Structure 1
Amino acid sequence: MKKFLGFIFLLSLSIFSFSYMNISLDSTTIQIGSSASITINTDAQTIFADVDFGGFNNPDIIFDGEPVKDGKANLIYLAPFTPTEATITFTTDTGESTSQKINITNNVLKGNKISLKVVKLSGPNLYKEKGNDVWNPLNPNIELTEGDEVLVAEKGYLKLSGPNEINIDISENTQMLFSVLREVDKKIDFRYKLKKGVTYNSINKKLLPGSKFIITDNQDVAAGVRGTRFSFESGEKCVVRVYDGVVQVAAQNKSWNINPNNMFIADPITGKNSFDKVDIPEEKFIKQIEKKPEQTTPPKENKEQPKENKETTPQTETKVNNVQFGTIQKDGINYFVYSFSPEFTFGGLSLGIGFSAYQKELGGTLYFGAPSEILSDNILSAITLTRLGMDFGTIYFNYGKSSLYTMAMGMLVNRYYIPYSNIFDVGFRMGGIETFIHIPYEIKKLYPFDVSQSSSMYIANLKSDISGNKLDLNYIYEQNDTSAHFNHAVALAFYRNIFNFKTGIEVDGLMTDKGLGYGGLAGIFFDLPPFLQLTAGLSYSGDNFTPQFIDSNYEYLKNNNKLTVPNNPYGLGIIGNANMIFGDLMKSEISYKKFFNESYDVLSGSLAINIQNAMESLPNLTISGEYMNKNVTSLLDSDTYLKIAAFYPIMGTNGVNLIYSYDAEQGKIVYSVLFENSPF
């Protein structure tokens, strides 16, 4: 009987010594930068909470806990600005604990793209459109949209306005990229990346639930709001000053709410975050940004127009700059081509319909369509699809001329492209993950329908952002292993971007017909758009590996069976590239590789100068040249590639290009004439 009573006593003691917890929350799946209300039902006195990603509206709950009132404790979870799965651990004052997982997603609104208008403008300001590397002067008539990038130089100032009474004041020495600008059912998805500089943001009309206004910097410090006034500064440190409302900030996977008249400071070098009172009053801060700008008012709308005509609609743009006739080489065969293909852009859709014809020899039979094995003398075959581009935010698709591809840090694939050919690129991006596939097929004719390969090489790419560290993985598949001497290749890079310096490593491997080839690079990359780009590093080339093996000349060498894989490793060496652009006056590129073991080096470069922009009294000519030499013993030898051209515009950006090139096999200069686009 005593044993039985003792057992009952111990059982009762255990029941009354341990607390229970029942967790309930709004949803287990929420958006980045949003919040979730959590209720804990318990008989404990105090609840403590900790989380691996995100934070709480009361950060003291981690150490001091949250008092339980009437058997309940309430707290608000703050989601980070990157998609992930967060685990919240709850602990009572008696030691019991439980956990709750929350899925953080990043969904871009699938609505219409919105635009930003220029309200005030002074000093030198530039912008470039999505997919375009050319910076153009910004004027009051230009509306900025998703994918556009802005550069406000020294002594410059810019003020932009958008829907929901969103205003952004942009200080001098500031560069920013508008990554998402969407609207649907009065909900806004507004995001930009502040690469450097200072902005002052005011959202005077509170955004609807489900909306986003998010700013990030190069170190993945982020701030998000629904209605407030605050500044965001990206430099050696990231500083967020809050003047009105509450701003949620995040850094290093943690989130906090910043109240009015307070500021948040993130130091990427030390990894420390701090909180303090605002150091600059709001009025003084605004004056520092403006610096007495020259106000420019955009053209006024016609008040007599009906209201529906005042709404912003996608702009239609037509480009008639794809005109070409002359001799080209495709797949090792020379053709004389005639091509005209205007391109239309409507919102996120780009469409190019062209008229193409060609001859196998000048004066020979005229065939219609792009050069193909299937010959057609039907004039309907001349109608070709030259461009089709669609961007849905998360997914994008592009068919058109081959771009320049530099994968990872450029050790294996550097400025590769397919001359005079079209390709398919399909991509997907969400949060810190982005991927695309390069498919080398082109549509030769619409009638009869003719599709064929434009190259035998495929590329797949995956990029991921891990706490500010960039992982870049690339897979290359080459069908024509007889001429290319390899089937499979991989390029993997891991780097970190600090103040526009990319510092990291790249490791490469390819399976050649002689066995495994391998190499790598450890170096830095510096970018000051649009003026200067530098790459320098220590390289290693092992067995069966040539640095930058897949380059601009790869397709030509492959089609003419001139690609070679070295028998012996080059070993340790140095590599450097420099690109410089001075507006429409000059652009140049120079590259040098030197290997210590084999005394092997490669020198290459290009230069284009617009003569008239250098001196107005001179004719409107552009002089350009390209040069590459391996084992540099003399300027012209059997390993030399040299081209010098003089371009004269006739219609828009199209004109006659007189090209002189050095034939290394024959050891003499040859020339050709093409009607094509300007080198600029």
Structure 2
Amino acid sequence: MVKHAFKAVLALVLLFATLSFADFYLNVGTLQVGNENYMVYEFGPEFTVGPLTLGFTLTTYATDLTTGSFYFGYPGSSAPSTNILDGINITALGLDLGNVWFRYGRMRPITYGMGFVFSGYSSPNARTFDVGIRMGMLSASAHIPYQLVQLSTFTFTQSDPVYTAVVSSKVSLFELSVFGGVDMDGLKEDAIATPLTYAAGVSLTTNVLGFSVGAEAGAQMWKDGTVGYGAFGGVFGDFGMLQFVAGPFYASDGFKPWLISKNYGFEKSQPDFGPDKYKLDLGYIANLALTFSPYGKVAVLLKGNFEGNLTLSGEGLINIPAIGGTNGLVLYGYLYDETPFEGGQFFDNNTLARLTIAYPVFSGFYAGIKYSWEDSQWKQTAFVGGTANF
């Protein structure tokens, strides 16, 4: 009895210590797997001790709150689990030993070089492996989109189709980066349209009077064998509150600058997606970002060519501080438009936009309303959960 009591007390002490020194994660959201929509509920701690990061949640999936199916394991597998053990979900696992590091967890945005080929690409709710090495002036890393979906059977599944890798090194006064990626969707025999299969690039930058000056060249290979090429040269800087990049670019037929970005999933879903959609282009970009910590940030990207065509994108986050006993308010906006101001209209069928108004219930957990521009009108949805719902 004493032995069992000691084990119980020790378990409670460890649990209390874990929760006391951890960030508590709580999220309620939605997930589409195939043609089925699921409500997702997950909560648990995440903490870092020295070089080790560990996070885990209890995660459940439901097709309906009252009469639907209820699963603990990820429902995308052929036999979704109802074993509560499979509800234990490792959400973060990382170890940094200096020369070698790895991380498993929610996917972080991917940007390589000057962002001409890979620019902030991410997949909501995906968990991935990232591993890397550092050896003097040389570093390398790989991004492997796999996630653990059933703990009891130790089953993994692909969480995103894009695999990437990068190698960087200091060469005299320059920083050289070589990177590439493959989209597994583009290798499928039954792929729709003409998907992208491979993308690669190389960048070379140096520091001049506090500014980074450099160039980047890239290539995109499509399933039908078409290869497009592009190049960008310019200046960029990071001065704390102010970040910017600007310069000219060239793109051949079959190459789109910044294709593998936050909008890549939307681009792939279009029926005309393929190399024929992207024609020879010569133009310029200007990207400006302002950060007013802790009150918010805003970023605007303008891409144009010498024929007068423009692409406008931007996002902004405003944190309204707590006033009168409230927890404050968070406002988030996002915009992407390849034909801004066309026909005298700011919002049209080519516009992607959303506005989120969120109330922080407590740390990392929000309740709010999201407005999305779809089919030439604003559609309203309510949500509770983390920032992934923004």
Give TM-score, length-normalised by structure 2: 0.86
* Distance in 2, Cα, partners of 1:334 & 1:381: 20
Cα deviations across residues 13-43 of structure 1 (Å, max 9, x unaligned)?
A: xxxxxxxxxxxxxxxxxxxxxxxxxxxxxxx
Q: Which amino acid aligns with 1:326?
A: G
Q: 1:342 aligns with which of 9, 30, 45?
A: 45
* Distance in 1, Cα, partners of 2:331 & 2:162: 33
Q: Which residue of structure 1 aligns with residue 310 of structure 2?
A: 601
Q: Which residue of structure 2 aligns with residue 624 of structure 1?
A: 332
Q: 1:521 aligns with which of 232, 244, 260?
A: 232
1:575, distance to aligned residue in structure 2 (A): 0.7
Q: 2:71 aligns with which of 364, 367, 384?
A: 367
Q: Which residue of structure 1 aligns with residue 210 of structure 2?
A: 500
Cα deviations across residues 588-625 of structure 1 (Å, max 9, x unaligned)?
A: 1111110224x432101111112236x77986111111
Q: Which residue of structure 1 aligns with residue 346 of structure 2?
A: 635
Q: 1:644 aligns with which of 347, 350, 355?
A: 355
1:584, distance to aligned residue in structure 2 (A): 1.6
Give TM-score, length-normalised by structure 1: 0.50
Q: Which residue of structure 2 aligns with residue 267 of structure 1?
A: none
Percent identity over the alignment is 30
Q: Which amino acid aligns with 1:507?
A: A
Q: 1:404 aligns with which of 109, 133, 144?
A: 109
* Distance in 2, Cα, partners of 1:432 & 1:479: 32
Quick check: 1:429–1:435 contact (8 Å CA) kept in 2?
A: yes
Quick check: 2:81–2:150 contact (8 Å CA) kept in 1?
A: no
* Distance in 2, Cα, partners of 1:323 & 1:596: 48
Quick check: 1:471–1:493 contact (8 Å CA) kept in 2?
A: yes
Q: Which amino acid aligns with 2:255?
A: F
SS at match of 2:298: strand
Quick check: 2:129–2:145 contact (8 Å CA) kept in 1?
A: yes
* Distance in 2, Cα, partners of 1:562 & 1:359: 35
Q: Does the alignment pair 1:455 with 2:160? A: yes
1:370, distance to aligned residue in structure 2 (A): 3.5
Q: Which residue of structure 2 aligns with residue 591 of structure 1?
A: 301
1:368, distance to aligned residue in structure 2 (A): 0.8
Instruction: Indicate the structure whose relative CO is greater, using CA pairs within 8 Å and at least 6 residues apart.
Output: 2
Q: Which residue of structure 1 aligns with residue 61 of structure 2?
A: 358
* Distance in 2, Cα, partners of 1:492 & 1:396: 23
Q: Which amino acid aligns with 1:352?
A: G
1:502, distance to aligned residue in structure 2 (A): 1.2
Q: Show structure 2 runs of 5+ residues with no match.
A: 1-17
* Distance in 2, Cα, partners of 1:673 & 1:366: 22
Q: Which amino acid aligns with 2:134?
A: R
SS at match of 2:360: strand
Q: Which amino acid aligns with 1:528?
A: F
1:567, distance to aligned residue in structure 2 (A): 4.0
Cα deviations across residues 122-167 of structure 1 (Å, max 9, x unaligned)?
A: xxxxxxxxxxxxxxxxxxxxxxxxxxxxxxxxxxxxxxxxxxxxxx
1:329, distance to aligned residue in structure 2 (A): 3.9
Q: 1:490 aligns with which of 200, 214, 220?
A: 200
* Distance in 1, Cα, partners of 2:312 & 2:231: 19
Quick check: 1:353–1:383 contact (8 Å CA) kept in 2?
A: yes
Q: Which residue of structure 1 aligns with residue 379 of structure 2?
A: 670
Quick check: 1:323–1:675 contact (8 Å CA) kept in 2?
A: no
1:561, distance to aligned residue in structure 2 (A): 6.1
SS at match of 1:638: coil
Quick check: 1:412–1:548 contact (8 Å CA) kept in 2?
A: yes
Q: 2:183 aligns with which of 478, 481, 488?
A: 478
Cα distance change, pair 404–499 in 1 and its aligned pair in 2 (3 A): farther
Cα distance change, pair 324–618 in 1 and its aligned pair in 2 (3 A): closer
SS at match of 2:321: helix
1:384, distance to aligned residue in structure 2 (A): 1.1
* Distance in 1, Cα, partners of 2:144 & 2:206: 29
* Distance in 1, Cα, partners of 2:33 & 2:265: 9
* Distance in 1, Cα, partners of 2:286 & 2:63: 41
